[in-house]
Amino acid sequence: MVNGQRTDYVRNSRFEAQRVSRLLSKACGESVPVRAAIVFVDLDDFTVRQMPADVHVTTRRRLVRWLRDLPVTTSSEAVEKIYAIARLSTTWH
């Protein structure tokens, strides 16, 4: 809920992460895991009653620290390959 209103942010983030993983995996020819995140841009602080296990919720000020704290699971070469494929518009059809 945001400002007392129900939102679909978590559900939509899960769906988009699954979609991105599926499309990138297909284009790369190997599994590409994706982590979902919801980042509030103009918000200094917020309260999460229960952090979803599969969607990270944060603010833009905390985003870089969260990303840096993630374990390294992909080689630099693999990241470059995924990045190159992700930049192609044909990947997303």
Band of pLDDT at residue 63, cut at 50, 70 and 90: very high
Instruction: Kindly state the percentage of the chain with pLDDT values over 90.
Output: 76
How far is Cα 86 from Cα 20, in angstroms, rounded to an integer?
9
Band of pLDDT at residue 83, cut at 50, 70 and 90: very high
Residue at 46 is within a domain: yes
Q: How many domains does the chain have?
A: 1
Residue at 1 is within a domain: no
Residue at 67 is within a domain: yes
Strand intervals (E) in 1-93: 36-40, 55-59
pTM for the model stands at: 0.85
Band of pLDDT at residue 27, cut at 50, 70 and 90: very high
